[in-house]
Amino acid sequence: MLLHCVACDAKYAQDPMLYACPAKGCDSPLEVLYEPAEFAKATSFEGRGVWRYRPLLPVDRAVTLGEGGTGLHPCERLGRELGIPRLYVKNEGENPTGSFKDRGMTVGIALARSAGSRAVACASTGNTSASMAAYAARAGLTALVLLPAGKVALGKLSQAIAHGARIAQVEGNFDDAMRLVVELSSKERSVYLLNSLNPYRLEGQKTLAFEVCEALGDAPDALVLPVGNAGNISAIWKGFNEWKAIGRARRLPRMLAAQAEKSAPLVAHLRDRSKPCRVENPETLATAIRIGQPVNWRKAVAAVLDSGGEAGTVTDDEILAAQRLLARTEGIFVEPASAAPIAWLLKNRPKDLETVVAVTTGHGLKDPDAMAKAPVTMERVKPELAAIRRLLDS
């Protein structure tokens, strides 16, 4: 197992504390690479969830809450509406803390332990902090979370509080918090960084691709997901490639990235590669993906281009409409960011795709305020049957 720099191609021996390429002037994210002999040994997968894929993970089981193994739900009614013959929703809200982050944290916390760290830290728009706080509690580690002040949904914040994290409300956005936590963890070696800059965390997240391929018998035509810091798209694309490399999938999917209109650095960069992958003052009500400087942009660009995929934007209104449509047609309630892929499909109505997997990354209860703003009248009625019957007939 090696660490590989996605920018300058340098290779390093495995080191749990190495998050960015140490080559002079590089500082780019690294990825975990397996030797052919390690792939050759990955022949048997047992059990359920993330740890089923232990032969393709960088560490043995350490701290688990039963992550992974989420439902891949066929969505016929919504598929008909979108003109997609086989639409599936991979519902990551079914993870223990309600988001896909748990797949990565179970692995990342194990690495933190192996590195001898007593404290773990992250910058977060909410879900990473909720997940990290839970797994840190489970492992008996101190959790430090840096959040953009006033911009974290209530469900996520209450999770970080419940699990006993030390919480800094940074007067700035996610990108400011990210810069600070990277600086802190590079100066304080005792603080282990668990953002998606950490290549080991992403190894856990790649297992979503394995689960999808196992359930469908091969990769789908396309996989569509919301993109913020761009760790998940990178991890899932790596997963599809590895599953193919060990001979278990015949093909690779197109990777479709959905971003919020005013927080879409990846979309802007793919349109004009001479511009940096960066947006100042990102805004969206899908606060999970309110990110202007994605640390994994280079990996995400490769995922989209190498897969023949694309990246596009959706507006906040389109996100809210998609959130309600998914909840009403299929019974799946997701947070606003997680509705972005459904909004993307509604907007683009792709004609050439038969089997599509939409990844819904976080549970709807994470952000109860978003639905509380929906235009619904809840009638106050007298405690009489007649009034209630009227509602049924309306």
DSSP string, 245-301: HTTS-S--PEEEEEEETTS-HHHHHHH-TTS-S--SS---S-GGG--SS-TTHHHHH
Closest CB 389 distance from ligand F0G, rounded Å? 40
Handedness of CA 187, 295, 246, 210 (dihedral sign): positive
Q: Are 222 and 350 in contact (CB under 8 A)?
A: yes
Nearest residue (CB) to ligand F0G, 42 versus 136: 136
Nearest residue (CB) to ligand F0G, 42 versus 131: 131
Closest CB 359 distance from ligand F0G, rounded Å? 8
CA distance 241 to 64: 26
CA distance 53 to 11: 24
Nearest residue (CB) to ligand F0G, 42 versus 330: 330
The residue ranges that bind ligand F0G (CB under 6 A) are 99, 124-128, 196, 226-232, 288-289, 335, 337-338, 361-362
CA distance 40 to 133: 36
Phi and psi based region of residue 167 (left: phi greater than 0; alpha: psi -120 to 50; beta: remaining): beta
Starting at the edge strand found earlier in the chain, the sheet holding 86-91 runs: 72-74, 86-91, 355-360, 222-226, 254-260, 310-314
Phi, psi for 121 (deg, rounded to 5): -145, 155
CA distance 302 to 314: 22
Mapped onto helix, strand or coil, the DSSP state of residue 207 is helix
Nearest residue (CB) to ligand F0G, 228 versus 253: 228
Closest CB 46 distance from ligand F0G, rounded Å? 28
Closest CB 364 distance from ligand F0G, rounded Å? 10
Nearest residue (CB) to ligand F0G, 42 versus 231: 231
Partners of residue 169 on adjacent β-strands: 147
Closest CB 259 distance from ligand F0G, rounded Å? 9
Nearest residue (CB) to ligand F0G, 229 versus 313: 229
Nearest residue (CB) to ligand F0G, 58 versus 155: 155
Closest CB 75 distance from ligand F0G, rounded Å? 19
